[in-house]
Amino acid sequence: MKISVQTPATIANLGCGFDCFGLALPLYNIVTIEETIMPGSGIEINILDKEENLEAENIPTDKNNIVYKAIELLYNYIGQSPAELKINIKTGIPIARGLGSSASVITGGLIAANELLGRPADEAVLLSIATEIEGHPDNVTPAFTGGMTIAEIEDSGSVTYRKLPWPKEWKITVCVPDFELATDISRSVLPENVPIKDAVYNLRRASMFVQAVHTKDEELMKFAMNDRLHQPYRMKLVPGLNNIMQELKHTDKVLGCVLAGAGPSIAVISSGNTDEIKEIVHTSWDNINVNAKIHTYNIEENGAKIIN
């Protein structure tokens, strides 16, 4: 038996919602899991498109692979260990760019393995395992559900989330530079503690963000997307980010410009004017010799799905 699951890319944080907000994008990874019948054939992991996605070369294909680690936790949950499995990973999401590529394959692998096992785990268990592997729930939640989500991880490991009604008119322009930034490096520059005034700053904005999404309030959204918990510390890791943010503040129809997840991609939320936004980002990065791929998307409302 063989199961393939397609799972969307995601953008976490969205400015003020560090480790909490996330939304899904119409870019996909596909994980296929096959039970091999040959006893003793062990675990085989293949990355299918290394030529198109050069960073895929660095994905481990042994038991350090995150898809394998997630599947192993699922098997352990039912008192078993994975034995003979072939795992194929097809990467359509840029790697180490802040677009949730790892959350996507973890989610896809868990859903595929759960199907193979006859669905012993419900969504809550799968989300909890995915979050344990990923470390935070903000990418894995929209990878499961699609749409825009707010998610929290309880001390028990269970994830509480809600999906918000993202306005269809709000587009996401995703600017992917030609350099990578590993999440652990991007997290290593964050302080252990933050000033209370900065915590309160984000608390106010995250509350307003939720209201702005619910009521399609563009003026409130412009105010709400600012952040003081992570972006100021990460600015130095993404050349040109500060300039681009400053320029886009005054650009018509821009609601916010944020680091996508832990970076280095930049996401610009706007109610239009996407050609001018692309031009501004391209010009700023060209000036410092950063090449970028920039595309505008609608949010992906559907989450992970079994495709065969």
Query: In the complex, which residues of this chain contact ligand HSE (CB under 6 A)?
Result: 12-13, 18-19, 136, 138-139, 183, 186-187, 230, 261-262
- Closest approach, Cβ 259 to ligand HSE, in A, equals 8
Beta strand 43-47 with 85-91: parallel, antiparallel or unpaired? parallel
CB nearer to ligand HSE: give 114 or 131: 131
Give the integer Cα–Cα distance in Å for 304 and 5. 7
CB nearer to ligand HSE: give 138 or 300: 138
Report the run of H or E that residue 202 belongs to, with start and end: helix 196-215
164 has which bridge partners?
A: 148
Contacts of 156 (CB under 8 A, 6+ apart): none
- Closest approach, Cβ 304 to ligand HSE, in A, equals 17
Asked if 205 contacts 16 with a C-beta cutoff of 8 angstroms, the reply is: yes
6 has which bridge partners?
A: 30, 305
CB nearer to ligand HSE: give 72 or 134: 134
Q: What is the dihedral of CA 200, 249, 293, 137, to 10 degrees?
A: 10
Asked if 85 contacts 35 with a C-beta cutoff of 8 angstroms, the reply is: yes
- Closest approach, Cβ 136 to ligand HSE, in A, equals 5
Please report where in the chains the tokens 């809600």 appear, as a residue: 162
- Closest approach, Cβ 98 to ligand HSE, in A, equals 7
- Closest approach, Cβ 212 to ligand HSE, in A, equals 20
CB nearer to ligand HSE: give 71 or 151: 151
CB nearer to ligand HSE: give 82 or 94: 94
